[in-house]
Amino acid sequence: MNRDKHLSGELINFSKKIGIDIIGFADPKDFAKFKEDNRPIAYLNSVKTVIIFGIHLYDVILDAWSLDQSTGKSFHYLDSILENRALRIERFLQNKEFESKIMPYNPGIYLKDSAVLAGLGFIGKNNLLISSKYGPQVRLRAVITNAPLLTDKNNHESSKCGECDKCIQACPAEALTVEGYDKKACYSYNMSNLKKLSNYTSIWCNVCIDVCPFNDEKFKSNLKGFSL
């Protein structure tokens, strides 16, 4: 398959203009190791590229969850922004006569693994994507397309955590261990220890982001007063 370097550059430049902080392209063939429901081809038969992008969580408020009183469901503040950016990427590709599909969160592809395959960073011991520029302070979304965008197969990063285990030691839910991440323990702790910003808005625990050496000081200063 011939990958389109010019189109890839166009999309990268477009993403910057609409406020996307990181973007990368992964080859759908690299998803063969995942279950069928977590492969791009399950959602678009003609898929040629997985576009994974993210926005910098420069302030803890962006990581807030709000309750929709009409539905009784909670939504992540930044997810609504990411949804808009995904729609704009989809429209960009449609205008160039390519098919695309915004990936749902569940079921869908693994966003952090997709980001690694796209060369955007590595997954740390805190079970978060550690990006080269923003550390663990990004939230992700994905769009799949039959546009042949330029992928970098040689840019898959391995973990750089080394001997560091600050997140494991600091996790109040004991959800992080050398064996991996206990999703149920994390969820249970957060449901019992939500930090309320208002009657309908709250923040989950951010300790694993706060203590990460790849974090930046701006987020840490904004996090003060909100950590659980």
Question: What are 139-167's pLDDT values in tens digits?
Answer: 999 999 999 999 976 667 778 899 999 99
Any domain includes 157: no
- Domain end residue (candidates: 83, 113, 145): 145
Q: What is the pLDDT of residue 225?
A: 41
**Average confidence score pLDDT of the chain:** 89
Q: Which of 24, 41, 21 is CA-nearest to residue 103? A: 41
Answer for the pair 144, 51: CB distance below 8 angstroms, yes or no.
yes
Q: What is the pLDDT of residue 62?
A: 79
What digits encode the pLDDT tens for the residues 50-97? 999 999 988 777 778 776 767 767 777 788 899 999 999 999 999 999
Domain co-membership, 10 together with 69: yes
Domain co-membership, 20 together with 68: yes
The residue-averaged pLDDT of 113-142 equals: 95
- Domain end residue (candidates: 111, 145, 179): 145
Higher-confidence position of 77 and 34: 34
The SS3 assignment for 97 reads: coil
State yes or no: pLDDT of 102 exceeds 90: yes
Q: What is the pLDDT of residue 72?
A: 66
Domain co-membership, 129 together with 193: no
Domain co-membership, 16 together with 87: yes
Any domain includes 161: no
Any domain includes 152: no
Answer for the pair 125, 171: CB distance below 8 angstroms, yes or no.
no
Q: What is the pLDDT of residue 177?
A: 94
Answering whether pTM is above 0.85, one says yes
Q: What is the pLDDT of residue 115?
A: 96
Domain co-membership, 65 together with 172: no
Q: What is the pLDDT of residue 217?
A: 59
Any domain includes 158: no
Strand partners, 133: none
Any domain includes 174: yes
Strand partners, 138: 56
Q: What is the pLDDT of residue 128?
A: 96
Based on the structure, what is the number of domains in the chain?
A: 2
Query: Could you tell me the CA-to-CA distances from 193 to 153, 185, 203, 210, 227 in Å, in that order?
Result: 41, 12, 9, 17, 10
Strand partners, 66: 75, 201
Q: Which of 85, 79, 144, 92 is CA-nearest to residue 117? A: 144
User: Which residues form the domain of 203?
Assistant: 166-223
Domain co-membership, 127 together with 206: no
Q: How far apart are CA 217 and CA 161, in angstroms?
A: 19
Sign of the Cα pseudo-torsion (126, 129, 130, 133, in order)? negative
- In sequence order, what are the residues at sequence separation of 6 or more whose Cβ sits closer than 8 angstroms to the Cβ of residue 65? 74, 75, 76, 77, 201, 202, 203, 204
User: Cis omega before residue 107 (within 30°)?
Assistant: yes
